Structure 1
């Protein structure tokens, strides 16, 4: 079947054909389209002439689709459905479609998830899809709308907006701090087990956070260590008395507040990296991404 150019007449005929094929009646199609039965019949005949194929077998009291008609109905129904979905998104400023977001695991668990209901309540028609990973997203091959990165903010070919800075400080259980006499004595870390997040940011080494903190404070670190592939696991191990973990302010606020973790010395260091929302260069034209970014900034302002 050789399709003609998609002129207004052909598109109108395809819409009329789809309704008639669904109803299997020119009369019922005419009622739905607010046309006369003869007008529907005329549109279908013009479409058949344009395509050069017969779409319906017309019987006295019944319509049947030809094989060509069945094929065309499948294609037109799928594509008209996609068009209708996109038009619905455009009409509502795209705030009723899907929003696919990649987020670092611990940031998702400790900071984003406790607040996510606020976003869902604000935009109830959005379908939010969260996936976690420590690595970077390939926006060319993966279907993410945006991602939250903990990094330097410079990503070739991508648009990034800074969300917030971060600070780091060692934390442990109150019992561990007492046992190893850590209160006010950072030099006693040499006798402790250090708990590492093995992937604190993309392409980081397993002890990069601890090394940066120690160098900034002019301290030596012990060799005794244990590493985890997620920061929340290292923090959980610290709560359970295994050792001392490097805590980020955004991760440890609740545990510090309720006493599960303590900061045995006041030696916080500003992280060299920050949190960014990242998307394709044209991504900020999307109202969905704009809405998510603005919501993040509003929540951070209250943090």
Structure 2
């Protein structure tokens, strides 16, 4: 594929990022020179040379102050953002290089139901994780975290995304609830049973909903009362453990509770439209720390799904 030739002015701008940002913030060549640790004449010379290369004026000069032109304002503000982004990326790179904790963003339900109980295992395996519980990728874009586990359809444009596991939907209930309802888990019909649902899953595009489960499992619509809604899947599952009804569970959120006898599957499972992904910035995707994290997650997930 043919690529457009690079504008030679970009290289000169990249070399002048700190200069433009400092002059713009300081409002004078002399104060910018002090901050940069160079002579004022060197600042003036570099600005004139840049303006000559670009073909337009960046600053209007007076005896007391330099004022950016409209074009200068655009480039100086962009220079400030670029310098800040580079500083943030450098700090993250140094942290990864030094073997510091991996800052991992995890949705709340996955953190509570799967990851937090396994943090001790991660530490024993030499993996130092610092968790940030949040539902979006904003912190990844801003460089505040190193990686994120996400439940969704993928593949998250603009980021490097690796599928950790395919997901299945599975209704679950407490044994006591089913005994009280007079049904067995194997032959239970959802008709007549109270349903519990995650409100977020019906609104965030992950298609984690009873309607999607019924379509994927080949079941028809269910007549009866509307589901009881919760704002988080882990709260919904805790309500199921407490005997409030049948919750719509999914992979990684239910296996531990099933193993402990707190929940039992009700009816068939069905494929989910969303899976679990490890999402990182492209520049850190192939670092040793990210590869170690990926291998540890894959092993832990495979063990959980096999045991379930």
Compute the TM-score of the two structures, normalised by the length of structure 2. Answer: 0.62
Preserved contact between residue 107 and residue 134 of structure 2 (Cα < 8 Å): yes
Q: CA deviation at 1:248?
A: 1.7
Compute the TM-score of the two structures, normalised by the length of structure 1. Answer: 0.63
Q: After TM superposition, list the pairs within 5 Å mapping 1:125-140 onto structure 2.
A: 126=128, 128-140=129-141
1:231 to 213, 223, 233: 233
Aligned to 1:115: 118
Q: CA deviation at 1:95?
A: 5.1
Uncovered stretches (5+) of structure 2, i.e. residues with no partner: 1-33, 40-86
Preserved contact between residue 136 and residue 202 of structure 1 (Cα < 8 Å): no
SS in 2 for 1:278: strand
Q: CA deviation at 1:285?
A: 3.5
Q: CA deviation at 1:202?
A: 7.4
Distance 1:264 1:140 in 2: 40
Does the alignment pair 1:240 with 2:274? no
Choose 169-178 or 130-139, whichever is displaced more: 130-139
Distance 2:195 2:121 in 1: 36
Preserved contact between residue 159 and residue 278 of structure 1 (Cα < 8 Å): yes
Aligned to 1:272: 273
Count of equivalent residues:
218
Uncovered stretches (5+) of structure 1, i.e. residues with no partner: 6-81
Does the alignment pair 1:96 with 2:99? yes
Distance 2:303 2:38 in 1: 58
Distance 2:155 2:120 in 1: 30
Q: CA deviation at 1:159?
A: 0.5
CA RMSD of aligned residues (A): 2.9
The one-character-per-residue Cα deviations of 1:220-270 (angstroms, maximum 9, x if unpaired) are 2333321111111111111111111012231222222222212233x1112
Aligned to 1:174: 175
Q: Residues 261 and 97 (structure 1 numbering): CA distance in 2 closer, same or farther, change over 3 Å?
A: same
Distance 2:302 2:210 in 1: 28
Preserved contact between residue 202 and residue 208 of structure 2 (Cα < 8 Å): no
Distance 1:208 1:162 in 2: 18
After the TM superposition, which parts of structure 1 deviate over 3 Å for at least 4 consecutive aligned residues?
135-138, 184-187
Preserved contact between residue 192 and residue 224 of structure 1 (Cα < 8 Å): no
Q: Residues 293 and 261 (structure 1 numbering): CA distance in 2 closer, same or farther, change over 3 Å?
A: same
Aligned to 1:38: none
Q: Residues 247 and 179 (structure 1 numbering): CA distance in 2 closer, same or farther, change over 3 Å?
A: same
Aligned to 2:204: 203
SS in 2 for 1:176: helix
Preserved contact between residue 106 and residue 133 of structure 2 (Cα < 8 Å): yes
Q: Residues 145 and 213 (structure 1 numbering): CA distance in 2 closer, same or farther, change over 3 Å?
A: same
Q: CA deviation at 1:105?
A: 1.2
Q: Residues 106 and 95 (structure 1 numbering): CA distance in 2 closer, same or farther, change over 3 Å?
A: farther
SS in 1 for 2:97: coil
Distance 2:150 2:175 in 1: 32
